[in-house]
Structure 1
Amino acid sequence: MYAHSTEKDNTTRYPALDQMTENPFHLLEDHSKDSPMLTLASGILSKEQFYIIFLFIIFTSQIINNCAIIANSLSIAVFVKLGFSEPSNISLTALAICDFTLAVLLTWNNVCFWLTYNNVPLPFHGANVSSLTGGAQWAFLSSTVAWITAFISFERCICILFPLKVRRLITPRGTFVAMLIIILLTFCPSFFIYIRYKFVWIFDPYLNITILNTLPVNSELAILFEQISFVICGVIQPLLAFSIMLICTVLLVVQLRKISSWRLSVTSVKSQRVQPEENSAPSSSAAEARISQKEERLVRMVVAIASIFIVSYIPSCIMILGYVVFDEFNLFGVYSRLFIVSSNIISLGQPISGSVNILIYYKMASKFRSVFRRLVHLDRQKPERHELK
């Protein structure tokens, strides 16, 4: 009885947001009234609770998105100043661009839902249009970020396993081509969703105006194409990228420990053989030690980036599996509210990961730190002193 009165009160309290229930996606409706779990699902998340949680998530998400936009903008600017002669700079720049775009897409979705919640009349349906112009692209771009991170981890594995052939195996041109291929295979398919859904102008009786909305294309070919795209791009690609990233990160940690201990033992043995009179000139072992330390710092940085992404991406993998296993855990099922809240909470992991990366670059990459400090005017160049004549 209480749940029923809450639903009714919210209809008058949030008319614009309640209007979202009358759309092809059925975002806020429970669709199986005969389900034995309906009472439990409604008790967990009534409309009042859903609105409160959803708005809190939007507010929190936007704070994180702003941090991600600023952080990745600075990262891109620093990498551009560093140049792209190193393959790692190319892949890290691509990662920063994708993280920046993810934050922008999430911002677009948050703005649309916030305006709809505040009953701001829009010339388009906030939930549906933002889903096709931001939500779908965000989902595919998350897979792109996963694959770029997996490629960076794989690239470092090649550097450790084949150190003598790394210059031939990994080149700036090859890395650039790899980034293009990853984007084409993971992000570009997001535009194929317009085969399944189309934009239409409809009359909105609530606003008494004609607005832009979306409608599904119910042809058998469009439905089949959507199902195949979801299986390949929504399930197989993210899980495969996550598996590759996890394996490469574990290999990096294991190999890094072995190489660090081996180099330490070799360096200590060579230092004992150095004659006193040779200490004045830089030895080849010292140069090798400096190079090894530089390589180790880069590997440790990649391990840190991959580890943070793995931690933030595990909930997404669990949700993908839950979407596949449980039929009602989706936008159309009984647990649609739980699905929306869960997906929005999980989506916070992506901008958090993108915001933290710049701290890793700053801490572990000396060149990045030097350029960053000059870029934000933390290091002021001392004026040259001219001799008085």
Structure 2
Amino acid sequence: MYMHTTEEDNTTRYPALDQMTDNPFHLWEDHSKDSSMLTLASGILSDEQFYIISLFMIYSSQIINICAIIANSLCIAVFVKLGFSEPSNISLTALAVCDFTLAVLYTWGNLCFWLTFHNVRLPFHSANVSYLTGGIQFAFLSTTVAWITAFISFERCLCILVPLKVRRLITPRGTFVAMLIIIVLTFCPSFFTFIRYKFVWVFNPYMNRTILNTIPVNSEFAILFEKISISICGVIQPLMAFSIVLICTVLLVVQLRKISSWRMSVTSAKSQRLQPEENPASSSSATEARISEKEERLVRMVVAIATIFIMSYIPNCIALLFYVVFDEFNMFGVYSKLSIVFSQITSLGQPISGSVNILIYYKMASKFRSVFRRLVRLDRQEQERHELE
């Protein structure tokens, strides 16, 4: 990494940024009419500001990514040991696998940008290649995580609303099939991006060598297909999943409060030794309450997971709104630098959410906590410490 000052204008230059922003997509587009927008964009975020902010985001997000990779690896190991006889274990394992993959993809993107900023001469255009081999997949996989979270929230809603029928409605095999369908419909379409873009070998005058780069396929079918896929998989699907999670979380919280109030009234009645005549309605309420009491820990855990997901996904919704409203607000548009920084900030929600989930499992799931402690040998360490004392 280095920078120098030109004698003509005495301004600081960042060759690494020149290499990264020398985007081949612009070779096929005429931006002469956007000269005023270019001036405005350069005034919003200078090269130096972009350089400092991006490096800070790379280093800070990389720490979070490492935590997410470790945490989700442990989650997957624990769920495998617990087995998949319970539908919730299947969906939570799928969520952990997706969170793990998201952290790996984010790490790959960070590595490519870090190499670019440090002026490492690679045989490929790191920014563009990482966009097609990690950035697109990260965006689509975020939608997968959203739908898996929506499924988990909906499953818990059924456990609260129809506790006696949920065993027949939600089975391990049905949950496994649902996870496959979600992945096929939300993540697999990311590979259709290669209909719109392709890899080519181009000559880079800055490096004075031929490197692997990407160019757009400007056929009408490819452009139309890209718009449709982005609209469906990048905007409609995430917002639908977010809405389902939000609605189910509200329903779960309301129902949990009702159950808590009912239990308090029953406890109060018992303390006063009141024994009213039992009728079918009260018997049904008692049965529902007993079943809910058995499921309450899992329901509260799902509420916590969904709440963290909602908080972490709100920035993504804002980002989607910006990308839809402003045509030039993307990695290859006039506001490319601002878009990259904005994406780096909003994308932090996913690895943060993936890192925190293991704490929720450990706190609220006794079986998970027991297996986790045996897995990392905490129980043995405590036993040895007590023997020494």
Q: TM-score, normalised by structure 1?
A: 0.87
Q: 1:288–1:236: structure 2 CA closer, same or farther, 3 Å change rule?
A: closer
In the alignment, the residues of structure 2 paired with residue 65 and residue 52 of structure 1 have an alpha-carbon distance, to the nearest angstrom, of 20
Q: In the alignment, which residue of structure 2 is the partner of 1:20? A: 20
Write the mapping of 1:331-342 to structure 2, written as runs, cut at 5 A: 331-342=331-342
Q: In the alignment, which residue of structure 1 is the partner of 2:143? A: 143
8 Å contact kept, 2:163–2:288:
no
Q: 1:274–1:343: structure 2 CA closer, same or farther, 3 Å change rule?
A: same
Residue 326 of structure 1 and its aligned partner are, at CA, apart by: 2.3
Residue 19 of structure 1 and its aligned partner are, at CA, apart by: 1.3
Instruction: Name which structure has the greater RCO, CA cutoff 8 Å, separation 6+.
Output: 1
- Does 1:184 find its partner at 2:170? no
8 Å contact kept, 1:69–1:103:
yes
Q: In the alignment, which residue of structure 2 is the partner of 1:280? A: none
In the alignment, the residues of structure 2 paired with residue 21 and residue 50 of structure 1 have an alpha-carbon distance, to the nearest angstrom, of 12
Q: In the alignment, which residue of structure 2 is the partner of 1:234? A: 234
Residue 286 of structure 1 and its aligned partner are, at CA, apart by: 11
8 Å contact kept, 1:30–1:334:
no
Identity rate of aligned residues, in percent?
82
Q: Output one character per residue of 1:102-157: Cα deviation in whole Å (capped at 9) or x when no partner.
A: 00000001111111111212121101111110000000000000000011000000
Q: In the alignment, which residue of structure 1 is the partner of 2:197? A: 197
One-letter code aligned to 2:307: S
Q: In the alignment, which residue of structure 2 is the partner of 1:310? A: 310
Q: 1:85–1:18: structure 2 CA closer, same or farther, 3 Å change rule?
A: same
Q: 1:62–1:157: structure 2 CA closer, same or farther, 3 Å change rule?
A: same
In the alignment, the residues of structure 2 paired with residue 163 and residue 5 of structure 1 have an alpha-carbon distance, to the nearest angstrom, of 76
8 Å contact kept, 1:30–1:335:
no
Write the mapping of 1:79-98 to structure 2, written as runs, cut at 5 A: 79-98=79-98
Q: In the alignment, which residue of structure 2 is the partner of 1:130? A: 130
One-letter code aligned to 1:98: C
- Does 1:101 find its partner at 2:101? yes
Q: 1:30–1:359: structure 2 CA closer, same or farther, 3 Å change rule?
A: farther
Q: TM-score, normalised by structure 2?
A: 0.87
RMSD: 2.8
Q: In the alignment, which residue of structure 2 is the partner of 1:371? A: 371
Q: 1:6–1:116: structure 2 CA closer, same or farther, 3 Å change rule?
A: farther
- Does 1:214 find its partner at 2:237? no
Residue 330 of structure 1 and its aligned partner are, at CA, apart by: 2.3
8 Å contact kept, 1:7–1:46:
no
In the alignment, the residues of structure 2 paired with residue 102 and residue 344 of structure 1 have an alpha-carbon distance, to the nearest angstrom, of 13
Worse overlay, 345-354 or 294-303? 294-303
Worse overlay, 325-334 or 347-356? 325-334
Q: Indicate the SS of the match to 1:380.
A: helix
Q: 1:125–1:36: structure 2 CA closer, same or farther, 3 Å change rule?
A: closer
Residue 290 of structure 1 and its aligned partner are, at CA, apart by: 7.3
How many equivalent residue pairs? 368
